[in-house]
Amino acid sequence: MATDPPADLMLAPINGEARSIQEWLTTFQLAVVALDPFTNESSWLLETAGRVLLHFREADCRSAFVVTGTADEARQFLGPWADRVLTFSDPDRTVVKALGLNELPAFLHIRGDLKVVGAAEGWDPYEWRDVAEGLAKVMSWSVPLIPEITDPSPYAGSSARA
């Protein structure tokens, strides 16, 4: 079950300087999809996750991937998504552990006060839709279609603690 992160948790973008999560949340809330580039479970959901994050890109939140690999591994795994969506590398799984995640992929909504107000682990499209609906309501934004016809069937995620 997802937990609220500590204010000093560092998030390192693949093309910039690491900052604390509190700094990343100064102006905007976070919509985050955490992925493991070394598992099928995360690769099966890459297109869906990218679509969901792009939907919120223009809303008053930061949409981002957290990839449990180095910056180079994140770029290789994400391909063009790495240029389209803010991406944080988490090679030691520090972020994933601090967020209390048990399964990847995971979709989280984190408010400016460091509260995780929505979380879905593994791929249950209805749980992901619940997170998206909560985020959309707070952002006064539309809700992305989840699931879409091309999305995979529900499945359990891989271990986030690997």
pLDDT digits (tens, 9 = 90+) for 150-160: 999 999 999 99
Alpha carbons within 13 angstroms on the beta-carbon side of residue 114 total: 14
Domain boundaries along the sequence of the chain: 10-147
Q: Could you tell me if 32 and 1 are in contact, meaning their C-beta atoms sit under 8 angstroms apart?
A: no
* Neighbouring residues of 4: CB distance < 8 A, sequence distance ≥ 6: 114, 115, 116
Cβ 48 vs Cβ 13: under 8 Å: no
SS3 category, 43: helix
Token pair belonging to 143: 């809700």
Place of tokens 């990839």: 67
- Across all residues in the chain, what is the average pLDDT? 97
Q: Does domain 10-147 have CATH number 3.40.30.10?
A: yes
* pTM listed for this prediction: 0.97
pLDDT (tens digit per residue) in 95-124: 999 999 999 999 999 999 999 999 999 999
Residue labelled with tokens 């973008």: 13
What average pLDDT does the segment 58-79 reach? 97
- Averaged pLDDT for residues 49-62: 96
CA distance 85 to 3: 24
